[in-house]
Structure 1
Amino acid sequence: MEHAKISRDEKQIQTRLHLINAGFHLISEQGYSAVSIRNISKYAGYTQGAFYSNFSHKEEFLLTLMKSQFEQENAQLQKIMTQIDSDFSSLLEKLELWLTDFFQNDEWLKISIELQLYAAREESFATEYKQVWQTHHEQISKILIQLFSHYKQVDAEQLEAKILEIISLSYGLALQYMIFKDDLNKYIQIIIQRLIGQI
């Protein structure tokens, strides 16, 4: 009896993952307004009923996409920070590799723009969007505080400004690279050199 319950739970997790992956692909390719729940469900190989058994509405689905991406980013960066006591150049090398993947993740960057635009137009969605973004900001802040504090004493006010600058710079340059596709290393080195300068 217990085995059947676990299987059902696993199946639901699998369904959610398939729907999320379908949403990532379709929204990045066609834009938020062009993608319907029917399209997402069909692309994932499920009925609309399967969608609604996992998500109450399209906005909840969007927030889940966002949370999923942010959780992945946070986990990856936290893993890199476990190497903080190792050689500094090795740590920077790992950060450069992570930034390379981040800059080349066109699918997420396009969705990020779509979510920001939708939040700018829909006040109710904006409230929930801000909460998810704030949680992500707090997690990234913890990681960057860990990095800055390891190498240098910085007061809280300076830290907040440094963190905001690094996060804004990373997203801004990633979006610029997504459009121009010119010299990836140039963009990454801007962030790395800024980090070194902050430390």
Structure 2
Amino acid sequence: MSPTTARKRLTREESRAQTRERLIETAQHLFVSNGYGGASIRDIADKAGYSQGAFYSNFSSKEDVLLELLRRHMEGEATQLSTVMGNDRQKPEQMLAELEAWASTLNHDADWCMLSIELQLHANRSQTFAAEYQKVWDKHRSEIGGVIGQLFNKLGRTPPAAPDELAAAFMALSHGLALQRTTTRSDPSGRLIMVFLRGLIANAECLGTTAVAPTGSSSRELKKRRPSPD
């Protein structure tokens, strides 16, 4: 075998990263096909081609893997939205069209819809997992709220509620519809989110009429900032 065709020897860090990725991919497959409770650490390690020791070198428990899958999904969504909103030269309709295109892909991953169910069920059964699960959701809600606030600012509109609250509503809609998804029916999450978003934008007051609520502000605080009618 020539040097050019010889397999590159992985560094220790690269080898560990590869092991971790295989364990995560295998765990996702087993969680979806067998359910969280039906996939043991031994099953995950064996299916990935590693020992249980290799699993514990990367994760302390199955819950760690489940949370990692959630974080990756949430971070991916936030990154995609930030990319859509990152072009300051976009015209409003072009920006909304790109949001439509992004929203059309929501919940199209059947595996993620199944994982959503497993995540919610396990959070309902485990208080320790629920606390970490909530932290990931809170972080994601804050990130999505920031994007929503940015969108309304670019459109010269005042959000009708705090961006974080709007983010929570859209996330609840998407998550709820994902939980109801069946293999024979397409998921309408993205389309409905854009219907509601366009409706909110169309009815929102122009900037200057009211103050924009910063991310994290409550709707009650927003109302207090509104000037009283003459």
Distance 1:68 1:187 in 2: 20
CA distance in 2 between partners of 1:76 and 1:26 (Å) = 27
Q: Shift of the alpha carbon at 1:25?
A: 1.3
- Per-residue displacement from partner, 1:19-38 (whole Å, max 9, x unpaired)? 11111111111111001111
Instruction: Measure, in 1, the Cα distance between the counterparts of 2:47 and 2:93.
Output: 44
Q: After TM superposition, give the deviation of residue 129 of structure 1 in Å.
A: 1.2
Superposition RMSD in Å = 2.2
Structure 2 Cα separation of the partners of residues 60 and 33 of structure 1: 14
The residue identity in structure 2 corresponding to 1:92 is: L
Deviations 1:104-144 (A, max 9, x none): 11111211111111111111111111112111211121122
Tell me the TM-score normalized by structure 2.
0.74
Structure with more of its chain in helix, by fraction: 1
Unaligned runs of 5+ in 1: 1-5
Q: TM (normalized to structure 1)? A: 0.85
For the Cα contact (< 8 Å) 2:84–2:98, is it kept in 1? yes
1:141 alignment partner, one of 130, 136, 145: 145
Deviating more after overlay: 83-92 vs 50-59 = 83-92
Q: Identify the match of residue 196 of structure 2 among 190, 194, 198.
A: 194
Query: 1:57 and 1:187, CA in 2 relative to 1: closer, same or farther beyond 3 A?
Result: closer
Retained in 2: the 8 A contact 1:166–1:191?
yes
Which of 182, 185, 203 is 1:182 aligned to? 185
Letter in 1 for 2:76: Q
| DSSP 3-state at the match of 1:103 | coil
- Contact 2:23 2:44 survives alignment (8 Å): yes
Q: Which has the higher contact order (CA 8 A, sep 6+)?
A: 1
Say which one has the larger Rg.
Answer: 2
Q: 1:105 aligns with which of 85, 109, 112?
A: 109
Structure 2: distance between partners of 1:180 and 1:89: 33
Q: 1:41 to 1:101 in 2, by over 3 A?
A: farther
**Which residue of 2 is the match for residue 67 of structure 1?**
71
The separation in 1 between residues aligned to 2:66 and 2:26, in whole angstroms, is 12
Moved more, 99-108 or 14-23: 99-108
Aligned residue pairs: how many? Answer: 192
Instruction: Report which stretch shifted further, 89-98 or 8-17.
Output: 89-98
Are 1:84 and 1:147, in contact at CA under 8 Å, matched by a contact in 2? no
Shift of 1:155: 5.7
